[in-house]
Amino acid sequence: MIRPANRGTDRGTSHANLLRGIYAIVDAAEGDVLAQLDDVLAGGVRLVQYRCKSGPDRGILAAAHQRTLLAGATLIVNDAWELAGDADGVHLGQEDLELVERGSLRACLRGKILGISAPDVAAARAAAVLGADYLGVGSMYATGSKSDAGAPIGPQGIRAVVQAVELPVAAIGGITLERVPEVRRSGAAMAAVISAISRAPDRRAAARALVDAWAR
């Protein structure tokens, strides 16, 4: 099993306590980001990612961070590592790993959470060596929320990564309320969801149902 790079015991412990449960991704492609955020927070979610593929709006990010701080929640910004200081951390895809390898990102993070997408065991091991705090692994199931998600790896694919690397794993891709128990059984520390909340008739109720299902 690959252990993560040593980036400070206290930091790792505190982050592990935050990196668990339902991980809601509020995506600008799904509508008003702050309205989505208010609903997921009201539903009890305490780990949120702000994603905007055209680039996060700094004003929205600042407002989102304020809301999460008041709720006692954690906010991760997707891709925009230069804005990590305005959130609690950043999540990077495989295409951004050169930044981490060069070391140019580490000074900017200053103790912030670093998540890295890892589609398989080899990528997960490499991310652990680079100092990731958690891994985004999937697509676990078929999904329409991400066009480049690749073929589903299923619970067995998640389980393989969990067994290979001592890092919290966020399973992502096609996760619904009914699939939450299977996600937990795979060993994932988090279930990352987009459409299960954003496209629900009642987003707050959907968020609450997911949180409750994870807690069972």
Mean pLDDT computed over 24-42: 98
pLDDT at 81 over 80: yes
Question: What's the pTM?
Answer: 0.92
Verify cis geometry, omega within 30 degrees of 0, for the bond prior to 139: yes
Q: What is the mean pLDDT of residues 90-117?
A: 83
Per-residue confidence (pLDDT) for residue 100, from 0 to 100: 78
Quick: pLDDT tens for 142-180.
987 666 667 899 999 999 999 999 999 999 999 999 999
Task: Determine the pLDDT at residue 69.
Answer: 97
For β-strands 89-92 and 113-117, DSSP reports them as: parallel
Any domain includes 6: no
Calculate ∠ Cα 165-5-73, nearest 5°: 80
57, part of any domain: yes
Q: Is residue 108 part of a domain?
A: yes
Asked if residue 7 is part of any domain, the answer here is no
Report whether 20 contacts 190 (CB < 8 A): yes
134 DSSP β-pair partners? 115
Share of the chain above pLDDT 90, in %: 76
Which residue range forms the structural domain that includes residue 98? 19-215
Judge whether 3 lies within some domain: no
Q: Look at residue 153 and tell me if it is in a domain.
A: yes
Instruction: Count structural domains, the chain.
Output: 1
Residue 32 pLDDT grade (very low, low, confident, very high; cuts 50, 70, 90): very high
- Identify the CATH number of the domain in which residue 47 sits: 3.20.20.70
Secondary structure class of 74 (helix, strand, coil): strand
Q: Give me the pLDDT at residue 10, please.
A: 45
Quick check: is 114 in a domain? yes
**Contact assessment for residue 214 and residue 21, using Cβ atoms and an 8 Å cutoff:** yes
Q: What does the mean pLDDT of the chain come to?
A: 91
In a domain, 1, yes or no: no
Q: Tell me what pLDDT residue 146 has.
A: 63
